[in-house]
DNA sequence: GTCTATATCTTGATAGAC
DNA sequence: GTCTATCAAGATATAGAC
C-alpha cells in the first residue's frame, strides 16, 4: 500500500484536472484543456480514462479522498465536549481555507451531482465525521434535533467560507472576516454561548 | 410602469431559460436547448439578445429582480428585535423553498461569477436587506461583529436549504428536516437562545 | 420577428503509426 | 504510452428570405 515517491501519469492527470474542474466545472473544461495542463495530447488521456466522465469521477474521488480523516480525528481527541467542538470547528475552517479547490468542488457536486454521486459523497466522505459530530451534538444540545444541530455547526463555518467572494461587496466587510481562524473563532463564540449552560430550551 | 397582462417574447425567453440555467449551468445549456423550450429556432434568440452571455446575464437579472424586497419588508415590520428576526428567518426560508431555481442560480453565481457579477449581485440584490439585518444584528448582539452575526443568521437557514439534496444521505436525516418551516423554527430556536438574554459574551 | 440554411469553431472520441 | 490525423456531432453565431 506504500506508493513510490514518483507519481503515476494517471495521478498527474487527476491532480492537474482538479483545479480546472474546481474553477470551471465539468462542462467548462475540455479534454484538450486538461491535456494542455499535463502537457500531452488529448488523445493520450483516453489511454488512462474511458471518457471525460470517467476522468471527472476519478478526479472527484481523488480530490475527496482522505479529506474526512482529519475531521474525524479532530473530534476524537479527548476533552470536554466544547473543547472537542472547538477542535472540529478549527480543523474544518483551516482545512477549507487551505484547499479552495476542495471547497469549490464540494459546492459544484452539491448542485450538479445526481442521486448516485451525492449518495457516494455523503456516505464515503462525510458519514464518518458527521456521525462523530452527531454524537457530540447529542451531548452538547440534547434538547434539539441532532442532525439539525450538526449541520448548523457546519453551516456557521462553511457558509462564511463559501460566501467569502461575494461578502467582500456587502456592508460591514473587512479583510479579517475571511480568515479561517477568525471564522472559527466567531463560530465558537456563538456555539459556546449557545451550549455552554447545558442547553435549556 | 404598469405592464400589460401579456408577456413579451423577451420575457418569455428569460422565464424559460432560467430553470435550464439553474439546473444545468451556463455551459450545460445550449442556445438550441433554450430555443426548444420557447418553441422557436435558435437563430430567433439572437434577435432578442446579442449573444449567449447577454441572454444569461439578462436571465440572472430577471431571476434576481425584486427578490430582496420581501426580505427588507419582513425586517421592517415593527416589533421586538427577536420578532423581526423571526420574520426575516421565516421569510428567507419560505422564499428559498418556494423558488429552488433562485437558490440554485445563487449558488452557481457564487462559484462562477466574476468580480463584476458578484459585486452586482451583492449591491443590487442583497445590500438592502443585509443592511437592515446588520442594524438588527447590532441591536441583538452588540458584543459580536455585526457582519459575522448577519451572515451567521443567513447561514443557519441557507446552508440547510443548500445542502438538503445531500443531507438525505447523511445519518439522522428524516423528511421533516428539509421543510422550510422546520428549518426556520430550528434556526430561531438556536438564535433565540443565543440572543434572548442581551448577548453577554 | 421568425424562419431555413449555413459558416465556423470546438468538442469528445477513435484509428493507427511509432 | 504518446503521438498525428481525423471523424462526427454539437456549439455559437450570421445571412438573407419571408
pLDDT, one tens digit per residue, over A148-180 is 999 999 999 999 999 999 999 999 999 999 999
How confident is the prediction for chain B on average, in pLDDT?
A: 95
Q: Do A163 and B131 touch (CB under 8 A)?
A: no
pLDDT in tens, B34-52: 999 999 999 999 999 999 9
B125: pLDDT strictly greater than 80: yes
Q: How far apart are CA A64 and CA A56, in angstroms?
A: 12
Distance B111 CA to D1 C1' (A): 36
Supply φ then ψ for residue B70, to 5 degrees. Answer: -60, -35
In angstroms, the CA A161 to CA B164 distance is 18
| Position B85 pLDDT exceeds 70 | yes
CA distance A134 to A144: 11
| Cell numbers placing A12 | 498527474
Q: Above 70 in pLDDT, residue B3?
A: no
Under 8 Å between Cβ of A187 and A89 = yes
DSSP codes of every residue in B57-72? HHHHHHHHTTTTHHHH
- The confidence band for B1, taking pLDDT boundaries of 50, 70 and 90, is very low
What is the per-residue pLDDT across A6-64, written as a single tens digit (0 to 9) for each?
Answer: 889 999 999 999 999 999 999 999 999 999 999 999 999 999 999 999 999 999 999 99
The pLDDT value given to residue A201? 44
Q: Residue B181 and residue B136: Cα distance in Å, rounded?
A: 22
pLDDT at position B173 is 97
pLDDT at A104: 98
- List the single residue in A with minimal CA-CA distance to B118: A166
Which stretches of chain A are DSSP H helices? 9-24, 31-38, 42-48, 52-64, 69-76, 81-98, 100-112, 115-120, 127-140, 146-167, 180-195
**pLDDT at position A195, please?**
80
Mean pLDDT of chain A: 95
Average pLDDT over residues A2-8: 71
Q: What is the DSSP letter of B2?
A: P
pLDDT at B4 over 70: no
Q: What is the mean pLDDT of residues B27-38?
A: 98
- Which residues from chain A sit within 8 angstroms of residue B154, using beta carbons? 159
Res. A128: pLDDT tops 50: yes
Q: Percent of chain A, pLDDT > 70?
A: 96
- DSSP 8-class letter at B121: I
* pLDDT category of residue B201 using cuts at 50, 70 and 90: very low
CA B112 to chain centre: 16
For A103-125, write each residue's pLDDT tens digit: 999 999 999 999 999 999 999 99
The confidence band for A4, taking pLDDT boundaries of 50, 70 and 90, is low
DSSP symbols for A1-23: -PPPSSPPHHHHHHHHHHHHHHH
CA of A113, C1' of D3: distance in angstroms: 35
Q: Domains in chain A and their CATH numbers?
A: 9-63 (1.10.10.60), 66-195 (1.10.357)
Residue B194: pLDDT band (50, 70, 90) is confident
A186 to chain B: nearest residue by CA?
A: B148
Are the CB atoms for B52 and B35 separated by under 8 Å?
no
d(CA A120, CA A113): 10
Tell me whether residues A194 and B190 touch, CB distance under 8 A.
yes
Q: CB count, 10 Å around CB of A141?
A: 25
The per-residue pLDDT for A197 is: 61
In chain B, the residue whose alpha carbon lies closest to the alpha carbon of A187 is B152
Of A85, A166, A155, A170, the residue nearest B145 (C-alpha) = A170
Asked if residue B157 has pLDDT above 60, the reply is yes
Cβ distance B27 to A27 under 8 Å?
yes
Residue B5: the pLDDT is 73
Residues of A in contact with B113 (CB under 8 A): 165-166
Residues 6+ apart with CB under 8 A from A103: A96, A161, A162
| Chain-chain contact of A155 with B160 (C-beta, under 8 angstroms) | yes
Specify the DSSP class assigned to residue B8.
Answer: P
Question: To the nearest whole angstrom, how far is the Cα of B111 from the nearest Cα of chain A?
Answer: 7
Work out the average pLDDT over B58-70: 97
Q: How far, in whole angstroms, is CA B98 from its chain's centroid?
A: 10
| Angle between the N-to-C axes of helices B100-112 and A100-112, in degrees from 0 to 180, rounded to the nearest 10 | 150
- Residue pair A169/B123 in contact (Cβ under 8 Å)? The answer is yes
* Angstrom distance, A3 CA to C14 C1': 33
* A136 contacts A71 by C-beta, under 8 angstroms: no
Of the candidates A62, A53, A64, the one whose C-alpha atom is nearest the C-alpha of residue A29 is A53
Which residue, chain included where needed, has cell 446579442?
Answer: B50
Sort out which chain B residues have CB atoms less than 8 A from A146's CB and list them.
172
Query: pLDDT band at A140, cuts 50/70/90?
Result: very high
Q: What is the mean pLDDT of residues B132-152?
A: 96
- Nearest nucleotide, C1' to the C-alpha of B35? C2
What residues contact A129, with CB distance under 8 A and at least 6 apart? A68, A71, A72, A75, A88
Amino acid at each position: 500500500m506504500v506508493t513510490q515517491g514518483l507519481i503515476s501519469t494517471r495521478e498527474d492527470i487527476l491532480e492537474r484536472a482538479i483545479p480546472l474542474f474546481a474553477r470551471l466545472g465539468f462542462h467548462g473544461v475540455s479534454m484538450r484543456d486538461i491535456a494542455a495542463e499535463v502537457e500531452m495530447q488529448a488523445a493520450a488521456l483516453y489511454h488512462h480514462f474511458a471518457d471525460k466522465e470517467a476522468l471527472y469521477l476519478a478526479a472527484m474521488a481523488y480530490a475527496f479522498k482522505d479529506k474526512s480523516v482529519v475531521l474525524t480525528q479532530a473530534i476524537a481527541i479527548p476533552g470536554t465536549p466544547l473543547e472537542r467542538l472547538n477542535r472540529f470547528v478549527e480543523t474544518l475552517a483551516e482545512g477549507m481555507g487551505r484547499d479552495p479547490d476542495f471547497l469549490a468542488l464540494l459546492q459544484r457536486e452539491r448542485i450538479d451531482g445526481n442521486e448516485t454521486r451525492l449518495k457516494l459523497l455523503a456516505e464515503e466522505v462525510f458519514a464518518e465525521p458527521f456521525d462523530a459530530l452527531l454524537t457530540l451534538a447529542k451531548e452538547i444540545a440534547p434538547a434539539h434535533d441532532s442532525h439539525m444541530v450538526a449541520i448548523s455547526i457546519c453551516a456557521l463555518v462553511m457558509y462564511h467560507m463559501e460566501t467569502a467572494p461575494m461578502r467582500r461587496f456587502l456592508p460591514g466587510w473587512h479583510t479579517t472576516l475571511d480568515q479561517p481562524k477568525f471564522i472559527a473563532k466567531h463560530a465558537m463564540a456563538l456555539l459556546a454561548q449557545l451550549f455552554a449552560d447545558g442547553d435549556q430550551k
